[in-house]
């Protein structure tokens, strides 16, 4: 799966937050992937009536609180990063690597490609 690092993109710097396209997985799959990463604990999926609505999951990593959210006004990607932007910064490259290795089932892959227009871009080719 393709991930999109957020923040400092200086070569050699490790990601502290990243985004993923939500067309390829649902919150339950995200929770399952998070639970598979060494160092991740206290993973909680949002229940139907939870607030705030944009936060889909919460978890702890390296004794820090993290969230999986859909930034307001944005409905194509999930943002995975620290709950608070203050304090020391920790690389979440192990978490990002788990998402990079994830391959959705074929049906979900096709739906995701259609929703994200990747299938169309692949057929049409790059625009000049």
21: CB partners within 8 A, 6+ apart: 1, 2, 76, 77, 112, 116
pLDDT in tens, 49-90: 666 678 889 999 999 999 999 887 667 889 999 998 776 778
Specify which residues 79 forms β-bridges with.
19, 69
What is the DSSP-derived secondary structure letter of residue 102? -
Q: What is the mean pLDDT of the chain?
A: 82
pLDDT tens per residue, range 5-55: 887 665 666 678 999 988 888 888 999 999 999 999 999 987 766 666 788
* Domain boundaries of the chain, sorted by first residue: 3-124
Question: What CATH architecture applies to the domain 3-124?
Answer: 2-Layer Sandwich (3.30)
């Amino acid at each position: 799966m393709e991930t999109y690092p957020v923040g400092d993109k200086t070569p050699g710097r490790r990601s502290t937050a990243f985004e993923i396209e939500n067309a390829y997985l649902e919150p339950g799959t995200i929770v399952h992937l998070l639970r598979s990463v060494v160092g991740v604990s206290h993973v909680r999926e949002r229940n139907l009536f939870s607030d705030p609505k944009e936060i889909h999951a919460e978890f702890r990593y390296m004794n820090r609180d993290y969230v999986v959210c859909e930034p307001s006004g944005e409905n194509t990607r999930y943002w995975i990063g620290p709950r608070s932007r203050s304090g020391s910064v920790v690389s979440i490259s192990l978490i990002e690597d788990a998402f990079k290795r994830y391959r959705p089932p074929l049906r979900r892959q096709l739906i995701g490609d259609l929703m994200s227009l990747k299938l169309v871009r692949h057929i049409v080719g790059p625009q000049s």
